[in-house]
Amino acid sequence: MKPLIALLLFASVASAQVTNPNDPNNGPYVLQQTLFTGDAPPRLVRLVGDQAFIAGAQTLYNFVRNGAVWTERPGVAITQPILSMDFDGTTLIAGVSGGAWLITRANDTWQSVFVSPPIAVSGFGAAVAISGPRAMIGTQGGSAYLYGLAAGQWTLEAALSDPRADFGFHIDLQADTALVTTLAASVAEAWLYTRTPAGQWPRTAILATPAVQFARAPAEGRLEGNTLILAVALDDALRLFAFTHTPGGWTPTAETLSCCSFGSLVLGDAHRLVVGTDHPAAGGAYVHTRGDDGQWTRTALLRAGATQYTGLGAVNAGDTILLPYPTGTRPIYAMLADTDRDGIGDSTDPCPTDPEDECDDPPPAPPPPPPPPVPPPAPEPPPAPPVPPPPAPEPPPVPPAPPAPPAPPAEPEPPPVVAPPVAAPPSAGPSRKPNGSGTYTGRAAVRRP
Ligand SMILES: [Ca+2]
Ligand SMILES: [Ca+2]
C-alpha cells in the first residue's frame, strides 16, 4: 500500500510541477518558458546572456532566447559521458574522461578541439573552466592545468599541483585569475594564481576561512567581478564566505551567509547567487541577493513542489534563472525575476516595480534632478580658506580684556546707590546725608516741590 500511495503522490506532484513550478510563495520570479531536452537529468547548465547550454549524457543542448522566446538550436554530440562543462558566452568547454572539448561556433557549425592531458594523470577533465583565451582543466585531485589560446591553438601554460586530495577538482577562472579551492583541517582555502604577460601563473594569494567544523565536502569557490565566494558544506548547512578584491589585495568581508543544507552553489553575479539543494524536506533553489551594505538575504525560494526537490544546477545570469527539474519529464524552467510580482518578468515589464503598470507618473519625477546646479556654489569654498587666517590674529588683541577687572570696583558702587534711597525716605529729609554723590542730589530736588 505504501509504495502505491507514494507513487500516486509522486505522479500528482510531478504533473502539477510542470504547469506551475512556482507557487505564490516562491518569491519574485515568474515562469517564462519550460525547456525540454528529453535527455538524462540535466545537472550541468550554463547561461550567459541569451544563450544556454545544457549537458545531457552525451549531448550539449543549445537554447537561444530571442525576445521572450527560447528556441533550441542544433547541439553538439559528444561520444563520451560529459563530466563537466563551462561556457563564457563564446567558447564552450566540456570535460570527459581523459580530456576536454573546446567548442566554438563558426558559420553555423560547431568547431571542436580536443585537449588531452599533458602527462598521464587520473581524472583529467573532471573539472573545467573557461574565460576568453584562458582555459583550465582540473582532475579528480592533485593537479590542474592552465591553457592559453594563441594563433588558434590551445597551449599548456602551467601545471598546478599539490598533495591535497581535493586540489584541482573545484576550480574557476576569470580573465587572468585562476582559482583552486581546497579544504584541509577544517579550514577552506582559496588559492589564487595570476597570469603574467609572459604566460606564467604564479600563486599570488591564499585566502582562508575561519575554522569550520563538520565540513562534509570540499569547498567550492566562484570568482565574479571583484568578489570571491567560498562555500563550505557542513552537516546541517551551507556556509558562504566572501572576499573582495581591492587595489591592496583580497580582504575578507563581514558578509557571511549560512543556509541551505546539502547545497550546491551557483554564483550568477556579484550580487546574486543561487544555492540549489536536494534536501528531501527543504530542497529547492534558494536565491540570495547582496545589498549595497554587503549583506546577503534570501529573496526567493523556487521549488517544484512541497516534497519534491529541484534546484541542482540552477543557474542565473542577469534576471534569468534556469532551474532544472531532476526527475519525471526532466524539464528546465526558465524563470524571470519579477520584482513587482505582476506576472511580467523585469526585462519585459514596462514598469518593473509597479504591479499596476502605471508608471506614466514617474516621468514628472525628473524635475528633481535640477538640484545638480548646486555644484557651482562649490567653487566658493576655496575663498573660505582666507577667512580663517584673519580671525586667528584677532585672538591676541583679546588679552586686553584683563583691564576688565577694574570693573569690579564699579559694581560695589551700585550697592550703595540702591541702599541709600530705600533707607533715605525715613530720615533723608532732615539729615540730607550725601550718601551717594550725583544721584542723591537729583532726588532731593524732586522732593522739594
Ligand atoms: Ca513585473
Ligand atoms: Ca509591472
Predicted TM-score of the model (pTM) = 0.71
CA of 33 to the centre of ligand 2 (A): 19
CA of 339 to the centre of ligand 1 (A): 5
Which residues, 6+ apart, have CB-to-CB distance to 306 below 8 Å?
13
Measured CA to CA, the distance from residue 193 to residue 207 in angstroms comes to 12
Residue with more model confidence, 306 or 395: 306
The pLDDT value recorded for residue 440 is 29
What ligand has the least distance to the C-alpha of 357? 2
The pLDDT value recorded for residue 210 is 87
Residue with more model confidence, 386 or 168: 168
The pLDDT value recorded for residue 414 is 37
- The answer to which of 99-113, 201-215, 243-257, 434-448 has the lowest mean pLDDT is 434-448
CA of 336 to the centre of ligand 2 (A): 13
Residue with more model confidence, 348 or 26: 348
pLDDT at 430 over 60: no
pLDDT at 314 over 90: no
Lookup result for grid cell 538640484: 371
Measured CA to CA, the distance from residue 332 to residue 276 in angstroms comes to 14
CA of 28 to the centre of ligand 1 (A): 8
Q: What angle do CA 249, 251, 253 make, to 5 degrees?
A: 150
What ligand has the least distance to the C-alpha of 346? 1
CA of 357 to the centre of ligand 2 (A): 5
* Residue 29, strand partner residues: 337
CA of 62 to the centre of ligand 1 (A): 27
Per-residue pLDDT, averaged over 264-274, amounts to 71
pLDDT > 90: percent of the chain: 32
User: Exposed, middle or buried: residue 223 (CB in 10 Å: 0-12, 13-18, 19+)?
Assistant: buried
**How does strand 177-184 pair with strand 171-174?**
antiparallel
* pLDDT interval class at 279 (50, 70, 90): low
268-285: b (≥16 Cβ within 10 Å) or e: bebebbbbbbbeeeebbb
Average pLDDT taken over every residue of the chain: 73
The pLDDT value recorded for residue 335 is 86
Per-residue pLDDT, averaged over 295-320, amounts to 69
The pLDDT value recorded for residue 175 is 94
Per-residue pLDDT, averaged over 242-267, amounts to 78
pLDDT in tens, 83-129: 999 999 999 999 999 999 999 988 889 999 999 999 999 999 999 99
CA of 282 to the centre of ligand 2 (A): 30
Which residues, 6+ apart, have CB-to-CB distance to 330 below 8 Å?
36, 37, 38, 39, 40, 41, 42, 324
CA of 319 to the centre of ligand 1 (A): 11
Residue with more model confidence, 168 or 364: 168
Residue with more model confidence, 391 or 95: 95
CA distances from 375 to 111, 132, 369, 372, 382 (A): 56, 42, 12, 6, 13
Per DSSP, the residues of 18-42 read HH-SS-GGG-SEEEEEEEE--SS--
CA of 18 to the centre of ligand 2 (A): 25
Q: Provide the residue type at 339 as one letter.
A: T
pLDDT at 396 over 50: no
Provide the 10 A C-beta neighbour count for residue 315. Answer: 25
Measured CA to CA, the distance from residue 263 to residue 234 in angstroms comes to 9
What ligand has the least distance to the C-alpha of 347? 1
Check the CA dihedral 271-277-279-281 and report its sign.
positive
The pLDDT value recorded for residue 214 is 72
pLDDT in tens, 17-60: 323 344 444 468 888 888 888 776 666 888 898 999 998 888 99
CA of 325 to the centre of ligand 1 (A): 24
What ligand has the least distance to the C-alpha of 28? 1
CA of 352 to the centre of ligand 2 (A): 4
Q: What angle do CA 13, 18, 22 make, to 5 degrees?
A: 85
Name the DSSP class of 235: S
Grouping H, G, I as helix, E, B as strand and the rest as coil, residue 323 is strand
Per-residue pLDDT, averaged over 402-416, amounts to 39
The pLDDT value recorded for residue 336 is 87
pLDDT > 70: percent of the chain: 64
CA of 26 to the centre of ligand 2 (A): 18
CA of 211 to the centre of ligand 2 (A): 45
pLDDT in tens, 51-67: 999 988 889 999 999 98
Per-residue pLDDT, averaged over 432-438, amounts to 31
pLDDT at 294 over 80: no
CA of 63 to the centre of ligand 1 (A): 24
CA of 131 to the centre of ligand 1 (A): 33
- The answer to which of 184-198, 275-289, 307-321 has the lowest mean pLDDT is 307-321
The pLDDT value recorded for residue 435 is 33
Provide the 10 A C-beta neighbour count for residue 352. Answer: 18
* pLDDT interval class at 208 (50, 70, 90): very high
Residue with more model confidence, 17 or 316: 316
* pLDDT interval class at 281 (50, 70, 90): low
Per-residue pLDDT, averaged over 166-190, amounts to 91
Which residues, 6+ apart, have CB-to-CB distance to 273 below 8 Å?
222, 229, 240, 265, 266, 267, 287, 288, 290, 296, 316
Cell of 35: 525547456
pLDDT at 79 over 60: yes
Residue with more model confidence, 217 or 3: 217
User: Exposed, middle or buried: residue 408 (CB in 10 Å: 0-12, 13-18, 19+)?
Assistant: exposed
Cβ atoms of residues 303 and 310 within 8 Å: yes
Provide the 10 A C-beta neighbour count for residue 116. Answer: 11
Q: Provide the residue type at 134 as one letter.
A: R
CA of 88 to the centre of ligand 1 (A): 28
Residue with more model confidence, 429 or 139: 139
51-78: b (≥16 Cβ within 10 Å) or e: bbbbbbebbbbbbebeeeebeeeebbeb
What ligand has the least distance to the C-alpha of 359? 2
* pLDDT interval class at 311 (50, 70, 90): low
Q: Which among 335, 285, 279 is positioned nearest to 307, based on CA atoms?
A: 279
Cell of 81: 559521458
Measured CA to CA, the distance from residue 150 to residue 27 in angstroms comes to 45
